[in-house]
């Protein structure tokens, strides 16, 4: 068994033993592990001296309906979609990672450098139609444009466009571009009321106001859309390689980074059509559509929180490779990742990280869970793996 999976498994058995949920077969499994080496017995004995009351309370809350309801009230419109079994499973997996961290700290200390890698923040660059470049951040809240017809305001972490009813259609030919760098995030409210959350290393091009026929934007990177309903004017997101997502009014996530082959759309509410040339699929809530060059668009059913948690300040990983995890985190923490051996890329890990914490907590958990080692050199994270 993979060492990471094995350690997480033993951690889960010890947890179950403490809350009297250990089955007969699981008790035999734990006993077998204890008898395998004197080292295991020492670790187990040390753990009996510790109190895990807070962690057990957290586990028990996660495994109840109340725990899920709390999450829904905070982030999810309860009546419109359910988290289902996946979130419970992910939450338990995340908890077990935490217990495994405490558990195996008895066995080996983390070697990750204590250099702090700070998280990103709200920042972006706005390019106006006339070529003027404006830096946006929490520090420079300001009214960028203020006329009777149009207002463009930087509210610190959100750029808001407001158009009056008598705004001239010629404004529809004026395009702005919002660019979010590595280590940044920003929110945009378009002139029709559509809200867009832009993830790190992303950019969107859009008209100051939309024309009388359609609403079209151009995306590179990742963004979450809450599209204002307007059946008479379909909303289109144009991604790379001629991929187009058409909606009338809905909430969905689009991921289209230039350093990734796949372009994916995950739908939370409403209905969208994803197409590339003559190939097209219709998504229902809970669907993910993936386009890869020279392949038909693939449609699957997923739990959407796995793909949209970043909008709520959290990254959640469920059986993801270290390569995929660090690719996402490198954008937010503005770091480069170097692998000293290829084996490190394919190690699988489940866990989560709050976007606004430094990265060390997650790295330590991954190290202790088994095999993976990290070293920080300035803004470069060096990753290695040993069996």
Q: How confident is the model at residue 249 (pLDDT cuts 50, 70, 90)?
A: confident
Nearest in space to 220 (alpha carbons), one of 178, 184, 185, 190: 178
Q: How confident is the model at residue 22 (pLDDT cuts 50, 70, 90)?
A: confident
Q: What is the pLDDT of residue 195?
A: 96
pLDDT digits over 33-82, tens only? 888 888 788 777 766 665 555 555 544 444 433 333 444 454 444 333 33
Task: Evaluate if residue 109 carries a pLDDT over 70.
Answer: no
CB–CB of 261/290 below 8 Å? no
Q: Match 């309906």 to its residue by tokens.
A: 65
Task: Evaluate if residue 10 carries a pLDDT over 50.
Answer: yes
Of the two residues 355 and 146, the one the predictor is more confident about is 355
pLDDT averaged over the chain?
Answer: 80
Q: What is the pLDDT of residue 63?
A: 40
Nearest in space to 367 (alpha carbons), one of 379, 345, 381, 383: 383
- CA dist 28 to 22, 31, 44, Å? 10, 5, 15
CB–CB of 154/144 below 8 Å? yes
Task: Evaluate if residue 315 carries a pLDDT over 80.
Answer: yes
Most confident of 39-43, 111-115, 302-306, 336-340: 336-340
Task: Evaluate if residue 93 carries a pLDDT over 60.
Answer: no
Q: How confident is the model at residue 330 (pLDDT cuts 50, 70, 90)?
A: very high
Percent of the chain with pLDDT over 90: 41
Give the residue-averaged pLDDT of 311-323: 85
Q: What is the pLDDT of residue 50?
A: 59
Q: What is the pLDDT of residue 90?
A: 40
Give the residue-averaged pLDDT of 75-94: 41
Q: Match 């008598």 to its residue by tokens.
A: 166
Task: Evaluate if residue 7 carries a pLDDT over 80.
Answer: no
CB–CB of 289/297 below 8 Å? yes
Span of 96-110, 168-182, 341-355 with lowest mean pLDDT? 96-110
pLDDT digits over 118-173, tens only? 888 999 999 999 899 999 987 777 888 877 778 899 988 999 998 887 666 667 67
- CA dist 255 to 81, 248, 293, Å? 21, 19, 15
Task: Evaluate if residue 268 carries a pLDDT over 60.
Answer: yes
Q: How many whole angstroms separate alpha carbon 179 and alpha carbon 187?
A: 11
**Three-state SS at 246:** strand
Query: The domain at 313-385 falls in which architecture?
Result: 3-Layer(bab) Sandwich (3.55)
Q: What is the pLDDT of residue 65?
A: 38
**Three-state SS at 170:** helix
Q: What is the pLDDT of residue 49?
A: 63
Q: What is the pLDDT of residue 297?
A: 96
Task: Write down how long the chain is.
Answer: 387
Domain ranges of the chain: 3-105, 121-306, 313-385
Give the residue-averaged pLDDT of 291-302: 94
Q: What is the pLDDT of residue 44?
A: 78
Q: 121-306 has which fold?
A: Jelly Rolls (2.60.120)
- Alpha helices of 106-170 — where are they, by DSSP H? none
């Amino acid at each position: 068994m993979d060492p990471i999976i094995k350690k997480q498994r033993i951690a889960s058995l010890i947890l179950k033993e403490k809350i009297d949920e250990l089955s007969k077969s699981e008790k035999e499994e734990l006993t077998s592990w204890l008898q395998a080496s004197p080292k295991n017995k020492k670790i187990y004995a040390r753990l009996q001296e510790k109190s895990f009351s807070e962690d057990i309370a957290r586990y028990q809350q996660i495994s109840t309906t109340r725990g899920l309801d709390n999450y829904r009230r905070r982030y999810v419109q309860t009546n419109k979609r359910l988290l289902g079994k996946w979130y419970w499973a992910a939450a338990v997996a995340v908890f077990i990672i935490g217990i495994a961290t405490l558990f195996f700290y008895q066995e080996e200390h983390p070697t990750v450098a204590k250099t702090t890698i700070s998280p990103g923040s709200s920042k972006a660059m706005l390019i106006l139609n006339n070529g003027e470049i404006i830096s946006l951040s929490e520090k420079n809240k300001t009214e960028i444009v203020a006329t009777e017809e149009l207002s463009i305001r930087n509210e610190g972490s959100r750029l808001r466009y407001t158009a009056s009813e008598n705004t001239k259609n010629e404004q529809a030919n004026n395009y702005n571009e919002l660019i979010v760098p590595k280590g940044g995030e920003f929110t945009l409210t378009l002139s029709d009321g559509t809200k867009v959350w832009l993830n790190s290393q992303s950019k969107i091009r859009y008209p100051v106001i939309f024309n009388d026929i359609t609403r079209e934007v151009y995306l590179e990177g990742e963004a979450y859309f809450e599209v204002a309903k307007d059946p008479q004017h379909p909303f289109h997101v144009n991604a790379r390689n001629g991929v187009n997502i058409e909606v009338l009014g809905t909430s969905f996530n689009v991921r289209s980074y230039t350093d990734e082959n796949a372009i994916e759309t995950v739908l939370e509410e409403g209905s969208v059509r994803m197409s590339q040339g003559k190939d097209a699929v219709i998504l229902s809530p809970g669907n993910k559509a993936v386009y890869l060059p020279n392949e038909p668009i693939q449609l699957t059913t997923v739990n959407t929180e796995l793909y949209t948690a970043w909008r709520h300040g959290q990254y959640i990983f469920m059986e993801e490779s270290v390569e995929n995890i660090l690719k996402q985190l490198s954008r937010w923490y503005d770091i480069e990742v170097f692998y000293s051996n290829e084996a490190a890329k394919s190690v699988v890990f489940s866990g989560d990280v709050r976007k606004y914490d430094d990265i060390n907590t997650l790295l330590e958990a991954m190290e202790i869970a088994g095999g993976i080692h990290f070293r920080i050199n300035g803004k470069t994270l060096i990753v290695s793996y040993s069996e």
